[in-house]
Chains A and B, each alone.
Chain A
Amino acid sequence: MYWNKSCECMPREKLQELQLERLKEMVNRIYHDVPFYRNKFQEAGLVPEDVQELSDLQKLPFTTKVDLRDNYPYGLFAVPLEKIVRIHASSGTTGKPTVVGYTRKDITIWAEIMARSLVAAGADSHSVVQNAYGYGLFTGGLGVHYGAEMLGASIIPISGGNTDKQIMIMKDFGTTVLTCTPSYAIYLGDALKKKGIDPESLKLKVGVFGAEPWSDSMRKEIEKKLKIKAHDIYGLSEIMGPSVAIECEAQNGLHIWEDHFIPEIIDPVTLKVLPYGEQGELVITTITKEGIPLLRYQTHDITSINPEPCGCGRTHLRINRLQGRTDDMLIIRGVNVFPTQIESVLLELGEVEPHYQLIVRREGSLDTLEIKVELSEEMFSDKISNLEKLEKRIALRIHSTIGINAKIALVEPGSLPRAEGGKSQRVLDLRKI
């Protein structure tokens, strides 16, 4: 099923022609309407006419989150405020938030690609969508909302948190599609179990989860706990919000909507473009956005591009599931470690619920990694020797994956902090450097 077949299944040649036409138009627009970009072009000795082919994109300057902050709040907008109909902002962990503006056309395109994404995940106009993303400055809530409305589904704008109410509504309103963060999906699954509600008794069929990186093994856990098909959705407010890319029924990579965005993968250190298949930082150029068009925006998200044709018939490139963020990356004894790697190991062992916490300390001049793992019912044993074996097995697998000897600490079930709606904190870096 498609929402917009002619766009989603456009032959690649035609799609690339469309991209080039839109890229040229976009470059022209930002050169003339955004002083920040005009200066950057002039500094680099470039003019819009230098873009004649798609590969010319590689010559153009990057945009970073710092650029957005330096031009807070409206400095990078390409249209006057009277054309802006919506403003979102993402919480900055340090200092000012990042502000983005949308024109009426931007909002329509966003809804369109969200509708495409929901359909790709298995929703249709009969769906009852329980939207447990937060509504507000965060793009998650309203992003899903407008797309679901365009699709003609019935949207329940419950927003995040309030787990008891979420479960009541899920039961009573006959929710078929759940949208929230993956960690909250697990939390809801646990809450159902605690209440003794069999997920089979619900009408829930599909989950669309995003806003934080999650692993395939975590997907299995969610699918088991909620008895649904769980799809990954990708997005970031700077580019649009959720629905920049979505997993289709193949659940093997996320189609990025290339008629609106051009993806590239770069080496985060050298900033050189990497070939398809290689892992690096995702860079996105928005080619249709009016409010705040961004050229080669560095997302800090780590992934790779899969150019293989997909069985679903969509021709848009797939990005592989996110491997973490360049800024979440822990460097322990010189080794790059992503929390998702640890998570995969724990789940590969088959018996561990994905409740864990990484604690990094510096003892003397040596970094140490401790991994707290909650003991699930399935892995419990009344024999100390079995628990010791389990710890050893985890430590061994961690070592063979990341090359670091970690101390494994089994902790009581339910003792680690849980996410209520928001993102869970899985890493405690206690190093004072």
Chain B
Amino acid sequence: MIRQVSIFMENHEGRLNKMLKILAENNINIRSLNIAETMDYGIIRLILQETEKGIEVLKKNNIRCTLTSVLAAEVPDQPGGLSNLVDALTQAKINIVYAYSFLPKKTENAIIIIRVDDEVQQKAIETIEKISTVNLLDAETLLMK
């Protein structure tokens, strides 16, 4: 299971910039970022190289953040690579709440971050583990990639 840092942010100029600067000044690398936006606000979702330290510096700077547990799946970087995974989840009637890509440095494969509802997370893990072409990653392995 991967710990994603989620931040509620009002949709104002400079808000994202301020948050990114805090992470930069504290030498915390962002491994993946996703932004969901509405007219008035957005939710920033981050996978950090050092999650604990990241939370600490954000909180110290009065930016409240929450941890969300998500899944990371390594799939072949070729046509149909992701389709296999989503197909299996669909068969198992598991809805994907959101998903985004993770940029690995040390593998040719693609890595996708997936958020499913908490109550079906265990079922999702079992489903993904059965797919021969997909490799479910734990946090340590993911951050080495």
Answer whether A and B are interacting partners: yes
Q: Is the CB of B43 within 8 A of A384?
A: yes
Does A415 sit at the interface, judged by CB under 8 A? yes
Q: Please state if A382 and B115 are interface contacts (CB–CB under 8 Å).
A: yes
Q: Are A410 and B64 in contact (CB under 8 A)?
A: no
Query: Assuming the A-B contacts A382-B4, A382-B45, are A415 and B64 also in contact, with contact meaning beta carbons closer than 8 angstroms in the complex?
Result: no
Tell me which of B5-13, B23-31, B47-55 binds A.
Answer: B5-13
CA distance A229 to B98 in the complex (A): 44
Contact A380–B66 (Cβ < 8 Å): yes
> Is residue B40 within 8 Å, beta carbon to beta carbon, of the partner chain?
yes
**In the bound complex, do residue A414 and residue B62 qualify as a contact, i.e. CB atoms below 8 Å apart?**
yes
Q: How far is the CA of A388 from the CA of B64 in the complex (A)?
A: 19
Q: Which residue of B lies closest to A383 (CB)?
A: B97
The chain A residue with its CB closest to the CB of B9 is: A412
Separation in Å of the A75 CB from the closest CB of chain B? 51
Q: How far is the CB of B117 from chain A (nearest CB, A)?
A: 9
Residues of B within 8 A of A413 (CB): 8, 64
- The answer to whether B64 touches A377 (Cβ under 8 A) is yes
In the assembled complex, the Cα of A211 lies from the Cα of B113 at a distance in Å of 52
Which residues 95-144 of B have a CB within 8 angstroms of A? 97-98, 115
Q: Are B10 and A411 in contact (CB under 8 A)?
A: yes
- Interface presence of B90 (CB below 8 A): no
What is the CA–CA distance of A411 and B66 in the complex, to the nearest angstrom? 16
Which of chain B's residues has its CB closest to A412's CB?
Answer: B10
Q: When the two chains form their complex, are residues B62 and A382 in contact, meaning their CB atoms are under 8 A apart?
A: no
Task: Assess the B41–A382 pair: CB atoms within 8 A.
Answer: no
**Complex formed: what's the CA distance from A354 to B97 in Å?**
30
Q: Which residues of A contact B98 (CB under 8 A)?
A: 383
C-alpha spacing A180/B38, complex, angstroms: 40
Give the complex CA separation of A414 and B8 in angstroms. Answer: 12
Q: How far is the CA of A409 from the CA of B12 in the complex (A)?
A: 13
Closest chain-B Cβ to A139's Cβ sits at a distance in Å of 36
Given contacts A382-B66, A382-B68, A384-B43, is CB(A412)–CB(B8) below 8 Å?
Answer: yes
Residues of A within 8 A of B45 (CB): 382
* Chain B residues whose C-beta falls within 8 Å of the C-beta of A377 in the assembled complex: 64, 66
- How far does the alpha carbon of A22 sit from the alpha carbon of B64 in the complex, in Å? 59
Query: Given A388-B38, A412-B8, A415-B10, are A382 and B43 also a contact pair (CB < 8 Å)?
Result: yes
B10 touching A382, Cβ below 8 Å? no
The complex places the Cα of A380 from the Cα of B43 at a distance, in Å, of: 10
Interface centre among B6, B40, B66 (most CB of A within 10 A): B40
A375 adjacent to chain B (CB < 8 Å): yes
- Looking at the assembled complex, report how far the CB atom of B14 sits from the nearest CB atom of chain A, in whole angstroms: 13
* A375 to B43 alpha-carbon distance, docked (Å): 12
Chain A positions within 8 Å of B68 at CB level = 382
CB pair B66 A410 closer than 8 Å: no
Residues of B within 8 A of A412 (CB): 8-10, 64
Find chain B residues with CB under 8 A from A411 CB: 10, 41
Q: Given contact pairs A384-B38, A410-B40, A413-B64, enumerate 20 new A-B contacts (beta carbons under 8 Å).
A: A375-B8, A377-B64, A380-B6, A380-B8, A382-B43, A382-B66, A382-B68, A382-B115, A383-B97, A383-B115, A384-B36, A384-B43, A387-B38, A388-B38, A409-B40, A412-B9, A412-B10, A412-B64, A413-B8, A414-B62
Q: Which 6 A-B pairs have the closest CB atoms?
A: A382-B6, A382-B68, A413-B64, A384-B36, A380-B66, A375-B8
Q: Can you offer 17 A-B residue contacts whose CB atoms are under 8 A?
A: A375-B8, A377-B66, A380-B66, A382-B4, A382-B45, A382-B68, A383-B98, A383-B115, A384-B36, A387-B8, A409-B40, A410-B41, A411-B41, A412-B9, A412-B64, A413-B8, A415-B10
